[in-house]
């Protein structure tokens, strides 16, 4: 069994650039999920201060090595395009860089392992706003059990390495594909994002 207590925190504490973090995740960071995945899904590598974070890659993302490129990703892009944002206007990543087998949700142990790496990722990007997609990533970053339906659309401050970032939780597009009636609430979240970016 993998020893989750042996987290390589000391190795990435000194990382202060995105390129260094990319090299670390792709070539140094080790985890059982890496052995079952086809590709590391680090990010879409765009230059943007609008950060979008999901939970983990799916089959299409694992195949292409890019986040949110399947059906969920297509819906996600339509949502952002509705407020004038294209894929290159967003910095897109996930909590977990490797696909969990059979597209299962990340376990609590996996989330705990990758969360410090994600926080370092955020510290390297220094985004103006962070859009969280779904309850899994929202609960992981806030370190508490929250209802996404109650917390979505609200700006939540989070301190990382001495800097405060604004989080905007919303529904995951895969959930919206299963529950299309909830798209109206996701649209409200997009309108809030548009308002924030204008000010």
Q: According to the model, what pLDDT value does residue 10 have?
A: 59
Q: Residue ranges of the alpha helices (H) in the chain?
A: 9-12, 18-27, 32-36, 59-64, 71-81, 108-125, 135-142, 148-151, 173-178, 183-198
- CATH code for position 120: 3.40.470.10
In a domain, 105, yes or no: yes
pLDDT digits (tens, 9 = 90+) for 126-178: 999 999 999 999 999 998 888 999 999 999 999 999 999 999 999 999 999 99
In a domain, 1, yes or no: no
Token pair listed for 84: 């004038």
Which residues of the chain, if any, have pLDDT below 70? 1-12
Q: According to the model, what pLDDT value does residue 8 have?
A: 54
In a domain, 103, yes or no: yes
pTM recorded for the entire structure: 0.93
Cβ 20 vs Cβ 123: under 8 Å: no
d(CA 141, CA 156): 11
Task: Give me the half-sphere count of Cα atoms (radius 13 Å) on the Cβ side of residue 69.
Answer: 13
Token pair listed for 39: 């590709």
Average pLDDT value over all residues in the chain: 93
Q: According to the model, what pLDDT value does residue 2 have?
A: 42
In a domain, 11, yes or no: no
The whole-angstrom distance between residue 120's C-alpha and the CA centroid of its chain comes to: 13
Sheet architecture: strand order including 50-54: 91-94, 50-54, 129-133, 163-170, 156-160
Element (H or E) spanning 93, and its range?
Answer: strand 91-94
β partners of residue 159 = 164
In a domain, 4, yes or no: no
Q: According to the model, what pLDDT value does residue 3 have?
A: 44
In a domain, 8, yes or no: no
In a domain, 3, yes or no: no
State whether residue 23 is helix, strand or coil.
Answer: helix
In a domain, 126, yes or no: yes
State the residue range of the domain holding 132.
16-198
Number of folded domains that form the chain: 1
Cβ 168 vs Cβ 130: under 8 Å: yes
Q: According to the model, what pLDDT value does residue 160 have?
A: 95
Q: According to the model, what pLDDT value does residue 5 have?
A: 42
């Amino acid at each position: 069994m993998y020893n989750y207590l042996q987290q390589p925190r000391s190795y990435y504490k000194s990382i202060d650039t995105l390129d260094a973090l990319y090299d670390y995740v792709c070539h140094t960071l080790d985890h059982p999920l890496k052995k079952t995945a086809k590709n590391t899904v680090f990010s879409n590598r765009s230059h943007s201060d609008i950060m979008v974070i999901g939970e983990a890659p799916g089959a299409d993302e694992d195949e292409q090595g890019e986040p949110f490129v399947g059906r969920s990703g297509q819906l996600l892009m339509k949502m952002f395009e509705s407020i004038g944002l294209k894929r290159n206007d967003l910095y897109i990543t996930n909590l977990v860089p490797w696909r969990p087998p059979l597209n299962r949700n990340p376990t609590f142990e996996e989330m705990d392992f990758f969360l410090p790496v994600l926080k370092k990722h955020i510290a390297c990007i220094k985004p103006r706003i962070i859009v969280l997609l779904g309850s899994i990533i929202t609960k992981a970053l806030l370190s508490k059990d929250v209802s996404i339906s109650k917390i979505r659309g609200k700006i939540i401050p989070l301190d990382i390495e001495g800097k405060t970032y604004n989080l905007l939780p919303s529904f995951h597009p895969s959930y919206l594909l299963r529950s299309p009636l909830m798209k109206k609430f996701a649209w409200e979240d997009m309108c809030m994002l548009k308002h924030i970016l204008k000010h």
